[in-house]
Amino acid sequence: MKNKTIFKSCSILVFFFSVFLVRQLHAEENRVYEPTQYGLSGLLGYTYDPSDDIYFTQISLCALYDYDRIWKHRAPKALHFKIEGSAGFAFLESGTARLITNANILALYYLNFWTDRNITPYVEAGIGVIYTDYTVEGQAYRLNFNPQAGFGIEIERKTGQTNFLALRMHHLSNGGLNDDNRGQNSIILMLGQYF
């Protein structure tokens, strides 16, 4: 008698789980994602820590995806996933120009409740890796981690194109992989356009 009850209970659970799974798969097939956008931007950076004598400029390419398209779980409609790659030059106090390149992933969240016609503000944060063809005193590696966070606005023009302007805090360090872990902190300003 006890085995029959367990069997019936398991059968009911399997049935309801199967119905739930089929409904989820069907919903996924009918899901309408936000279109993927690709962008190009230029950025200016100013390193204020450990010194204020390093400036850098980069060209950046990015792809902006509906968050659910990449990470298969329910997420707020305003949440997006950005992949970004940048390359350019850092200008040191010695007057030399050195290569600086990085690749990052970021979560971008639109603040739709502040949207005003053609302007949409957003916040973003993420992490990546960065290579600098120079080090500062106390910095062990040229290849480091690169967490970033900031805010920006998107401006939709009458032509249908969207421009964006962002301000970010930019950090690089080895994350404690070496005792010589003097990081660098910067502020960056980005101006770009989605296509």
**Which residues, at least 6 apart from 157, have a Cβ–Cβ distance to it below 8 Å?**
118, 163
Give 6's pLDDT tier (boundaries 50, 70, 90): low
pLDDT score for 101:
97
Structure tokens given for 16: 């309801």
Q: CA-CA distance, 76 to 67, in Å (whole number)?
A: 8
One-letter amino acid of 122: Y
Q: What is the percent of the chain where pLDDT is above 90?
A: 64
Q: Domain spans of the chain?
A: 1-30, 33-194
| For range 132-157, the mean pLDDT | 95
Of 166 and 68, which is predicted with more confidence? 166
* pTM exceeding the 0.85 threshold for the entire prediction: no
Token code pair at residue 126: 């993420």
CATH of segment(s) 33-194: 2.40.160.20
Q: What is the pLDDT at residue 22?
A: 53
CB-based contacts of 92, cutoff 8 Å, min separation 6: 53, 54, 98, 134
Question: Which candidate, 172, 154, 167, places its Cα nearest to that of 90?
Answer: 172
